[in-house]
Structure 1
């Protein structure tokens, strides 16, 4: 009997040891697999390769999934759908459905639906969608619209549109504060910002809580709470053009609210606030700023807009800051999102996108001929928009076209403003060396080593086929480029 007992204990010990070794070997692998890298300030794509259209939207976590939703517009800018995607890691997004479309109600057939935001009402079991509604031709309606669904990614029933308590309403957001919900919306043609308390079912407006900063012209509100402090992020009202973001804090939504304070840079890194999502995990909580880089800033359609996501920093309990990063490391399970240090990868392939026009720098007609001119073209249709940055020493790089194998340089090494930028066989001339100089928000000036001048799109043109030339630095956005890694 003693022998049998010893034998049984040995087997049990062996089994526990085996399980322990298996657990220890699996755990680090899972931790490493959880972190993903996301390239910033581009048009994100879903798992099937299609562009994600969730502009001006928001995010809600249900179970293990993050659901991202937003504006999906027609090429002419009118409403097509509120589209929804889901992901567990914040990088790999699966299209779920168009939760509201232009066919959901007659008044949505010709309209603009902007800044959709979701609430979940635990008492009714309904997901409630609030939106800014316009008539598709101007901003004269200035209404909110409401829809609801028993499932987060189902078909939403449209409940109509109205002006909250008679106030005009433009850019807006909503916030659920432990079962009491609020609407925050720009009013008086964006001059003021109103906070309203919603009805218990979240489908209507019950009362006006407060008017914030009369005459300050703030829009694009994003409200979140960290600890016991409420933060309200807003943008200035400058149309499609980005501006300086500001924030204020309060210990209660009803106030008093602090004075507005700046964060990020003077253009919020070329973006406008849409939402702030707390990424809560096993190790930490990161507050992730979600912004839109609107294509209207370069006269493009809304569906060509890009996304800027950045983790917020909190120097104190009542202050915030935000730094630009070209790419992010995201570990949603751990709750850690952080910017990655930037360097040019020697074998990576990049696109050079004009800040002014949103178009890509290419070799004319994809020609392999020495002296072929560089010009701009739509990045999705161009034949040779891909470049490698080859280290030339001293912080300078050769721009090598992947299709032709040739190097971008100043024609004949001339120092004159207006000289064409052309491709040529690598001669190791300093007129073929370029220094990327970061000007903020992921944009760069490309300064020539020999001439000291910049690559410039001629006449600040927005047109396909406009020539790339060199010009003295004048601070123009036609002299600034986004260097985007091709994926």
Structure 2
């Protein structure tokens, strides 16, 4: 049976066709009265009945025709629905009447880009032409908009202060831990530990000076280690310390402070009872392009570093790991010079890759993958490859985590157009699923990198929801199903629904 919406669309389409045929009959009657071109009547008149050799063939024709009409009308209505939604402002819609408290609609904020600075006549241009004015200002340390991108430390988020601002996320503000220090967990991810009923947030600890190792090198901070924070409510975070520390003396070690340690992700292996951390390991020139593995008996460490390698024999840079419902874990990483992503299952102990891998999003130059699963469908958010500069996020969907993956458009909603095309001046790192009582709601984790002072990079956490039509027409090729839309909503201030935490 077709969905009711499709049946109604088909019925309406048939009514339109019947009206057209009725109009044709009137026209032919008029021509008959006039006596003009009587011989044309039978030549061009089309039958209004279906002619079938058998009842089964007729039924098949009707089914195929109805499917074609549904696909055509859905593809036409998809962009129209999006325009209507954007014109009316942001509306959170779910089948369970879920309303996030204090969500502010900031659809088109008036951002005035200051005029370009005057430069000496022979001075080279500061940025490539491809940069938008907003991103150009974002990368300019002297920009008049600097305070908007990186709000003053006086506006920090302090979980120890109770009152009207309790439990509210302010994307882009300095976020303090329970001891009053800025959280240092960049490029990280979050796990929920069922044994301790606690959330753990792991990320790069960048509390050091930013510098360039050489003239053409990217901004960097020496490796300090991986920071870990624990929480019961995803808002107030206790500093658990550095759970994987840098190597200070051995220059040949992967974790020597002069190297690169990025994007740590942790999962728990119920068979071995170990917490396994995967991370991007590189040298200062980003030519090592490997993954590293560490293990621990406890979620708050310490983690013991094991080794690094190039997975499946390929270069690996931005990466993540994903644990499926059946316990199988996967490594997803940018490869082939960041031109494509590779996906492959891990071994049963999660300490190595298997010999199975699949190339996906070939030639699309995507990085910073963040995966999640919703109602049996796999979704992934990625960014473009522009270094520390923000760019447009894209959402992708697949029936199997091994692919094929189909791009379904930019998930960002709200703020002005330039902010949406720059992922709200941030880059994806992880997606946190909430308890089953809120099946459509997730938290999108992103980093707003500050290349002038990486320790002052900010966190952009926003509500992510799944549902509705995708935000751009798909190239329909009869591969069902049609993917649901992924929406990341911008809000200056928001919080999760009261009582969302099933642990309380």
Q: Is the 8 A contact 1:36 1:331 kept in 2?
A: no
The residue aligned with 1:213 is 361
What is the distance in 2 between the residues matched to 1:304 and 1:285?
32
The residue aligned with 1:124 is 272
Distance 1:57 1:269, change over 3 A: same
Q: Deviations over 1:306-365 (max 9, x none)?
A: 0111011223362211121011212475159xxxxxxxxxxxxxxxxxxxxxxxxxxxxx
What is the distance in 2 between the residues matched to 1:332 and 1:208?
44
User: Aligned ranges for residues 224-373 of structure 1 at < 5 Å?
Assistant: 224-264=372-412, 265-280=420-435, 282=437, 286-296=441-451, 300-316=452-468, 318-331=484-497, 333-334=499-500
User: Which structure is higher in RCO with an 8 Å CA cutoff and minimum separation 6?
Assistant: 2
Q: Is the 8 A contact 1:281 1:332 kept in 2?
A: no
Deviation for aligned residue 1:165: 1.5
The residue aligned with 1:70 is 203
Q: Deviations over 1:361-398 (max 9, x none)?
A: xxxxxxxxxxxxxxxxxxxxxxxxxxxxxxxxxxxxxx
Distance 1:184 1:34, change over 3 A: same
The residue aligned with 1:52 is 183
Distance 1:197 1:34, change over 3 A: farther
What is the distance in 2 between the residues matched to 1:80 and 1:282?
39
The two structures have a TM-score, normalised by structure 2, of 0.57
Deviation for aligned residue 1:210: 1.2
Between structure 1 and structure 2, the one with the greater Rg is: 2
| Aligned with residue 179 of structure 1, among 327, 333, 345 | 327
User: Aligned ranges for residues 443-454 of structure 1 at < 5 Å?
Assistant: none
What is the distance in 2 between the residues matched to 1:176 and 1:329?
27
What is the distance in 1 between the residues matched to 2:334 and 2:351?
19
User: Aligned ranges for residues 150-165 of structure 1 at < 5 Å?
Assistant: 150-165=297-312
| Greater per-residue strand proportion | 1
What is the distance in 2 between the residues matched to 1:207 and 1:308?
36
Q: Is the 8 A contact 1:58 1:275 kept in 2?
A: yes
What is the distance in 1 between the residues matched to 2:245 and 2:372?
28
Q: Extract unaligned runs of 5+ from structure 1.
A: 1-31, 337-487
Distance 1:38 1:259, change over 3 A: closer
| Aligned with residue 134 of structure 1, among 282, 287, 306 | 282
| Greater per-residue helix proportion | 2
| Alignment: residue pair count | 301
SS of 1:44 mapped into structure 2: coil
SS of 1:161 mapped into structure 2: strand
SS of 1:325 mapped into structure 2: coil
Q: Extract unaligned runs of 5+ from structure 2.
A: 1-162, 211-220, 413-419, 469-482
What is the distance in 1 between the residues matched to 2:183 and 2:436?
25
Stretch of structure 1 that moved more, 233-242 or 254-263: 254-263
Q: Is the 8 A contact 1:294 1:306 kept in 2?
A: yes
Q: Deviations over 1:146-169 (max 9, x none)?
A: 000011111111111110021000
